[in-house]
A = this chain, B = another copy of it.
Amino acid sequence: MSGNSFGLLYCVTSFGESHGPAYGGVVDGCPPGLALATTDIQRELDRRKPGTSRHVTQRRESDTIELLSGVYEGRTTGTAIGFLIRNEDARSKDYSAIAEKFRPGHADYTYLQKYGMRDARGGGRASARETVVRVAAGAIARKWLGERYGVRIHGCLAQLGRTPIPFQSWDAVDQNAFFAPNAGMVATLEKQMDALREAGDSCGARVNVVAKGVPVGWGEPVYGRLDADIAAAMMGINAVKGVEIGVGFGAIVQQGSEHGDEMSPQGFLSNNNGGVLGGISTGQDITVSIALKPTSSIRLPRRTIDRHGRATTIETTGRHDPCVGIRATPIAEAMLACVLMDHALRHRAQCADVTPPLAFPPGAQGSKR
């Protein structure tokens, strides 16, 4: 399996470049019989779509998905689900001026050195627009996880640059352009983004994702751990530089008497471990937090070199998200959904005959078997 596929049993393969004719993907391994309409996927794509507010890239893409296979009379057949999303607003001329230079923080340099050539138009394969495929694959996973196991996945923007966003409710998330879980913060965030845009700069962000209702037992020791696969999926999102499960880096300063989640007949008494112990889900919420670096494409001039190695400067004037973290929320949710679905299938392959011996009362942390 080469680098454009992921997942062992729920296997997603992706292709496409930012300024090529289309993105597309293949989802393999989906169980048969899932009711699946184009709208189920389109809904998630629309959440990720560019141009929805002035705070994200103004590239105009409808991101309309065409389902090409694997669904018959409204249900998945168990065969490969192929889909296509045409690029509609690729302006290659935007990039002509910078094809000769390496944009700091971008993959321009590494692609050229690895492959000896590169498609410089809009970042080519390295463009974050590729995440459209992940969101589509995640939408299918999410639907199946929800219907089959009652799993629900939520994500939100937890911090924008230096501004933490106190969590208020998941309901708030889809009510604003920032995926902020707190309506009261929106004005502040807008002001912050306007200032950044005016300055021609960009900022980083933190996104949190939670999966609720995951049964105990998903994930394989020792190398196929659920947390390890989540870490890979998250670090594999463009611009992500850090991943935490549960308390994450906060665990460094905890003592064992504080960190280790105690148990009672009513379930777990805390969730420092973020719903994973020994690489296996505990039945508690799976909590993940990721760090996204500031957008590398900024208007401010930066020192760089051209493809002949000569010193120069660069200003990036294309249409970019001043904070890539804003649109990362649906992407991180999708990646979590894909990993969970892969492990749901892997778990039942090996352990379909096992009934977990213990049960907690409904509603308790860890109650899900």
Contacts and interface: CB of A to CB of B under 8 A. Distances in A.
A17 B246 CA distance: 27
Interface string A1-42: 111111011111111110011111010111111000000000
Copies of this chain, count: 4
Nearest to A356: B113
Contact of A264 (B13, B260, B297, B303): B303
A182 interface: no
Interface stretch (A46-54, A104-112, A183-191): A104-112
A15 B354 contact: no
Given A5-B28, A235-B230, A278-B110, A223 B14 contact: yes
A136 interface: no
A196 B257 CA distance: 11
A78 B236 contact: no
A262 interface: yes
A12 B357 CA distance: 29
Contacts of A232: 228-229, 231-232, 235
Given A221-B79, A241-B248, A278 B106 contact: yes
A107 B351 contact: no
Contact of A118 (B77, B148, B256): B77
Contacts of A260: 103-106, 294, 296, 298, 302
B80 A14 contact: yes
A363 interface: no
A142 interface: no
Contacts of A216: 109-110, 113-114
B349 A345 contact: yes
Interface residues of A, number: 165
Nearest to A302: B262
Interface in A269-309: 269, 272-274, 277-283, 291-298, 300, 302-305, 307, 309
A357 B107 contact: no
Interface stretch (A55-63, A124-132, A172-180): A124-132
A16 B351 CA distance: 20
A3 B29 CA distance: 8
B105 A256 contact: yes
Interface string A226-264: 011111111110100111111111111111111111111
A155 to B, nearest CB: 16
Contact of A29 (B242, B325, B350): B350
A116 B359 CA distance: 13
B303 A69 contact: no
A252 B157 CA distance: 12
Contact of A5 (B1, B162, B196): B1
A9 to B, nearest CB: 5
A204 B352 contact: no
Contacts of A360: 309
Contacts of A249: 206, 241-242, 244, 249, 291
Nearest to A14: B222
B109 A263 contact: yes
A348 B248 CA distance: 35
Interface string A342-369: 0001111111111111111000000001
Interface string A127-143: 00010000000000000
5 contacts: A4-B223, A32-B350, A107-B279, A113-B357, A260-B296
Given A4-B80, A75-B117, A231-B232, 5 more contacts: A6-B224, A33-B353, A77-B118, A113-B217, A235-B243
